[in-house]
Amino acid sequence: MIIVSTFDHEPEPGRSPQPPDPAESVPSRPSTAAPWAQAEGPGHHGPAGSGQGAAEAAISAVDDLRALLGETALPLETAGAAAGRDTVRRTLAQIEDYVLPRVRSLDAPLLAVVGGSTGAGKSTLVNALVGRPVTRAGAVRPTTRQPMLIHHSFDGPAFEGTRVLPHLARVRGQLAASSFPRPGGRPGPAEEPGGAEPVHSLLLLSDDGMDRGIALLDAPDIDSVSKENRRLASQLLAAADLWLFTTTANRYADAVPWELLEEAGRRDITVAVVLDRVPDGVADEILPDLHRMLDEHGLHEAPVFVIPEAPLNAAGMLPLGTVDGLRTWLSDLAADSAVRTEIARRTVLGALHQVAGRGEEIADEAGEQESVAGRLRADVLESHEQALQEIVSSTRDGSLLHDEVMARWQDFVGTGEFFRSLETKIGRWRDRVGAYLRGRPAPEVQVEQALETGLQGVIVEELAKAGERTQRCWRSEQAGRALLGDEDLGRLPDDVPDRSAAVIRAWQGDVLELIRREGAGKRTQARVLSVGLNVVTVALMITVFSMSAGLTGAEVGIAGASGVVGTKLLEAVFGEDGVRRMAESARQDLDVRIRELVQSLEEPWLQRLGTVSDPSSAEIREAAVRVRTTGERL
């Protein structure tokens, strides 16, 4: 028999140490050579025969699911995110601690966990099954827990590696007389292995008086005041092939143990219930109710072993014969390799079913994360797309050609006299412009500046609205509020006015370069020079802002005569088709630059969503279904 126990266990109320009885000596039980050990020798625990392919398929499916869950963080604070993360953690631990090791080694020694509530007598039960005191009760809660694995030397290779409980480092110890409690309660070396070992290590002790083929693991209290102890207890129970669930006559109906027993029923795990510290005459009253509760939780086959209330001797041991029934049951399991393999197979199938079910739950939560992330992303894109459309609309509907812009433009070009000068001789326009400019600031520059100021105002206003809309939408979602925290991400960055002005000036430079390219021919170049490059540039901008549905101001002059003036001037230089082509090109360039600016304002929001990089819910669900399918064929 292989025993795993822990140090500093709970004191057990109602039992006080008694003087040792000289007649009470602990006999050495004969070693029972398990057929598994005799037939296969150390280290051989792999599936064989016709089950090899099914086992390999199950291993592959579980490995795939494990890889996906290892990348699943569920970062958004959705309603089920916290529970989902815990399910991911527990599922990964179960896969690594139990499922994969057991599927790879169906005939390896069984791992039985002794679990129960505080003060249920787990430590005393372990000592009684080992035949000597290897663990003691502690008076301080929470007690320190370093799992101790006691095994037959033949089974050492099965536990020295990381086949089971790989998160626990292995430390080799020795079971000796010093492990008995010393006078004054000071522990011996086996209870203090070096005094500095980390809590998450596994002390391995070898004893050839133990049965081969089965292991007992004394878990921390399932209702411990320490969250870490409760987590470890749950993890150890998930790594078990069978449970020895220890409770008392006073606490057998407590809710916490039955929540775990209900899980055992869902996993189809082999369970034996130890009803400890039962006063005389009480068992007949309790057992019918206990069996009823086991039936209700799908554990009607679970055997129940009754340990009567009895004083402990000075070594903290129960009287001889108290646990004979349970010891015989465990020894029979250890001796029958077929029964052991069947228990392992049934338990691993239940675990695979549970892992698949948890995988599907995680897929559901991953799907919810995708849905919420999609809504938050849509809030960002829709708000900023609305801003973009409003900005673009303002450049198409002539609204920018009002007030200051039109006043400057009309001062510059005039009305009827300007048309007549274009229709007669374009050279006169050059003379008129020269006379106008002498000793005065360039009016076309004033028009250009007025256009820049107007467009900049529209851009800043609409981007500010986009940030406010996005923040309002995000704060309506729990996940969005968590991503924002206390930050006012909807507030427009201070540099946006400067950035928008830079975008407009860059576009004005594009227009200038466009005119230079279009006016590269000698005749056209001469006409441009006759009018003035800056004048032509401003005229093209005016034409762009008076466009509607791709038509020039000569056809649909929604900005009135002033828009037509700019178009007529350009047509006199480049021709009607050239003006249409240039205006459309300038329009597209402006739209692209504005879109790039708007998208740059989306980035801070989208970066918050960049944490959502989990595998897709479809991938997780497909992997979980594959685990279930391959498990059924195992």
DSSP secondary structure string, 252-286? TT-HHHHHHHHHHHHHT-EEEEEEEEEPTTTHHHH
Task: Quote the CA–CA distance of 626 and 633 in Å, as a whole number.
Answer: 11
In single-letter form, the type of residue at position 136 comes to R
Confidence of residue 273 (pLDDT cuts 50, 70, 90): very high
Average pLDDT over residues 589-615: 92
Helix (H) / strand (E) element for 18: namely strand 17-18
Task: Quote the CA–CA distance of 220 and 65 in Å, as a whole number.
Answer: 29
Q: List the Cα angle 232/237/238 in 5-degree steps.
A: 95
In single-letter form, the type of residue at position 504 comes to I
Q: Is residue 182 exposed (0-12), middle (13-18) or buried (19+ Cβ within 10 Å)? A: exposed
* 3-state helix vs strand vs coil in the chain, percent to 5: 60, 10, 30
Helix (H) / strand (E) element for 150: namely strand 148-151
Per-residue model confidence (pLDDT) at position 427: 46
Q: What is the DSSP letter of 297?
A: T
Task: At 107, give phi and psi (nearest 5°).
Answer: -100, 10
Between 60-69, 405-414, 487-496, the lowest mean confidence (pLDDT) is in 405-414
Per-residue model confidence (pLDDT) at position 605: 95
Average pLDDT over residues 224-240: 76
Confidence of residue 131 (pLDDT cuts 50, 70, 90): confident
Per-residue model confidence (pLDDT) at position 537: 76
What 3-state DSSP class applies to 51?
helix
Helix (H) / strand (E) element for 326: namely helix 324-335
What 3-state DSSP class applies to 288?
helix
Task: Quote the CA–CA distance of 601 and 459 in Å, as a whole number.
Answer: 12
What 3-state DSSP class applies to 13?
coil
In single-letter form, the type of residue at position 32 comes to T
Q: Hey, what's the torsion of the CAs at 83, 87, 93, 98, to 10 degrees?
A: 140
Find, among 326, 213, 336, the residue nearest to 271 by Cα: 326
Q: What is the DSSP letter of 99?
A: I
Per-residue model confidence (pLDDT) at position 266: 79
Confidence of residue 117 (pLDDT cuts 50, 70, 90): confident
CB 462 within 8 A of CB 364: no
State how far the alpha carbon of 182 is from the alpha carbons of 12, 188, 400, in Å: 19, 7, 94
Which is more confidently placed, 270 or 74?
74
Q: What percent of the chain has pLDDT over 70?
A: 73
Confidence of residue 624 (pLDDT cuts 50, 70, 90): very high
Which is more confidently placed, 13 or 224?
224
Task: Quote the CA–CA distance of 420 and 404 in Å, as a whole number.
Answer: 25
Confidence of residue 529 (pLDDT cuts 50, 70, 90): low
Task: Quote the CA–CA distance of 316 and 313 in Å, as a whole number.
Answer: 5
pLDDT in tens, 388-442: 999 998 888 777 766 666 666 666 665 444 444 444 444 444 444 444 444 444 5
CB 460 within 8 A of CB 497: yes
pLDDT in tens, 274-324: 999 899 888 888 999 999 999 888 888 899 999 999 998 888 899 988 999
Helix (H) / strand (E) element for 133: namely none
Question: Does 28 have pLDDT greater than 80?
Answer: no
Between 157-166, 335-344, 471-480, 623-632, the lowest mean confidence (pLDDT) is in 157-166
Displacement of CA 165 from its chain's centroid (Å): 23
Phi-psi category of residue 455: left, alpha or beta, with phi > 0 → left and psi -120 to 50 → alpha: alpha
Task: Give the dihedral sign, CA 405/409/411/412.
Answer: positive
Task: Quote the CA–CA distance of 275 and 291 in Å, as a whole number.
Answer: 12
Question: Which pair of structure tokens corresponds to residue 483?
Answer: 């991503």
Q: What is the DSSP letter of 400?
A: G
Confidence of residue 522 (pLDDT cuts 50, 70, 90): low
Q: What is the DSSP letter of 183?
A: G
In single-letter form, the type of residue at position 47 comes to P
> CB 38: neighbour CB atoms within 10 A?
11
- The DSSP annotation for 567-628 comes to HHHHHHHH-HHHHHHHHHHHHHHHHHHHHHHHHHHHHHHHHHHTT--PPPHHHHHHHHHHHH
The position carrying tokens 């993360």 is: 85
Q: List the Cα angle 315/317/198 in 5-degree steps.
A: 75
Query: From edge to edge, which strands make up the β-sheet containing 169-172?
Result: 169-172, 201-206, 148-151, 2-5, 214-218, 110-116, 242-248, 270-278, 304-308
pLDDT in tens, 158-208: 877 777 778 778 887 654 433 444 333 333 333 333 333 335 777 777 777
> CB 633: neighbour CB atoms within 10 A?
11
Fold held by 2-9+108-335: Rossmann fold (3.40.50)
Find, among 223, 221, 281, 286, the residue nearest to 249 by Cα: 286
Per-residue model confidence (pLDDT) at position 23: 35
Task: Give the dihedral sign, CA 234/239/243/244.
Answer: negative
Per-residue model confidence (pLDDT) at position 354: 92
Secondary structure E strands in 252-323: 270-278, 304-308, 312-313
Per-residue model confidence (pLDDT) at position 527: 65
Task: Quote the CA–CA distance of 302 and 272 in Å, as a whole number.
Answer: 5
CB 618 within 8 A of CB 370: no
Helix (H) / strand (E) element for 152: namely none
Find, among 155, 190, 121, 168, the residue nearest to 2 by Cα: 155
State how far the alpha carbon of 62 is from the alpha carbons of 47, 52, 66, 106, 366, in Å: 16, 15, 6, 16, 18
Residues of the chain with CATH 3.40.50.300: 2-9+108-335
> CB 475: neighbour CB atoms within 10 A?
13
